[in-house]
Structure 1
Amino acid sequence: MDQPWYQEENAAQVKALKDRYATYDWGREDPLPAFNLPYEEWFTELPMNFHDDLHTKPDVHRRFMHEMSRSNGYLDPNDHAKWIRLLDYYLKLHQMSDESLSLILSALDDTKAWDNTIVIFTADHGDQCGSHGLRSKGPWNYEETMRIPLYVVAPGITKPGTVSDAMMSPVDLAATICELGGIDSEDAKLPGQSMLPYLVGPK
C-alpha cells in the first residue's frame, strides 16, 4: 500500500485512453434493459452455512453487506425464499454462459480449427449466494468466491479428462499463455508464473 497508484504515475496515459474510448460506439445504450428472462426454481434449500453469525467475522464483512444493501437493495436474512431465488438466478446465468460458450465451440467444429486453437475457460470470481450469510464477491477468501473453474484445451499438450489439484491464480494466466505461444514471459516482465508444466502433466 506504500506504492503510488497506477493512475497517479500514468495520468497522461490514463487520460489519453479515456479520451479515445469516449469516442467509441460500443453498440449499447444505458441503462441496459432489465433481466426479465424466465428461470426455473431449481433450489429448495439455503446453503448450510447461511446462518453464520457475521459478528464472529471480521468487521469488513458486515460493512460490505451494509454497503451492498445500500447500493443494490436490501435482502432480508429472514426472507429465505428470496435468497433461494438468488441461487436460481445465479444458476440461470451459468446456463446462459454455457449456451454462449457452446456457440464458440461449435464454430471451432464447423471451421475445423481445433488443431491450431487453444481454448481457455475460466472466471474472475465466484459468488457467495448466501453462503456464510453473504452475497456477491466481497473482501473475503471463502471457497465460494475464490474457487473458480479453469479448463484448458491445447492441441498436443493437454489430454482429455485430466485433472490437476494444483493451486494457481488468474495472474498466472498471462505467463501461461505466453509460454503456450512461444513467448518468453520473463522478457515480457509479467507477474505470475507459467502453469504449463501442470497442463502437460497434471499433479
Structure 2
Amino acid sequence: MSDPRTRGLLRGTALATVLTLGLVVTVTGCSRQPNASGNSATTSQRAGPGGPFTLVDTKGKTVTNETLKGKPYAIFFGFTRCPDVCPTTMARMELLRKRLGTDADKMNVVFVSVDPEHDKKEDIASFLSMFDAPVIGLTGDPAELKRMEKSFKIYVERVPLPNGDYTIDHTARILLFDRDGQFVDTMDAKEPEAQAVTRLKRLIDA
C-alpha cells in the first residue's frame, strides 16, 4: 500500500483539479471517450452498455450485475496507477455524493479495474481509500473483464512505455444504471456540477 502522505497529496490534488478545472479530460493514457451508442436518456436501453458479469470486490466477495440491483449506480472503468483522470474522476464522484446530501446512500459508486495484471484487491482498496466516499471496487479474471469491457462498450488499450512499463488508454466517462441494472446515460466529464447533481437525483428518484 502507498504511503499515507502520498495518498493524501494525490487526493488533495485530485479534488483541486475537480474544483478548478471542471474535470476536463484531455490527457493521454486515460482519456478516451466511450464507444457507447447513446449519450442521452432517450437511447434505447437494449442498445446501450451493460450485461451480466461476475467479479470480486476488495474483500474477495463475489459481485454480479444481479447483486448490484436494488440501487441505481454509477460505474467507472479505470486503473490504480492512472496519474490523472482516474483519481480526478473518483474525486469528482466524491464531490457529487457530498452534494447529494441525504440521498447519497441511495445509489452506489462502482470502480472496475481494467488492469488485472497489476491491480489486485489490495491495490484497489488502497487507491479507493484516498477518497472520502464508499466505492465498490472490483476486479476479476482477465477474460471476464475483457468480456465485460466489450458488453459495457468500454475502450481499453494497453500502451507500452519506453522504460518497459505500460499505461492504459480507456473510456473516461461514467456510466449510469438504474435500480434494475438497466443503462440510462453517460455522465459527461465536463458537465456542470449542478446539472450532474440534478441528473443523479433524477436517477435516484426514478
With the length of structure 1 as denominator, give the TM-score of the two structures.
0.24
Question: Which is higher, the Rg of structure 1 or of structure 2?
Answer: 1
Larger relative contact order (CA 8 Å, sep ≥ 6): 2
Q: Looking at secondary structure, tell me which structure has more strand per residue.
A: 2
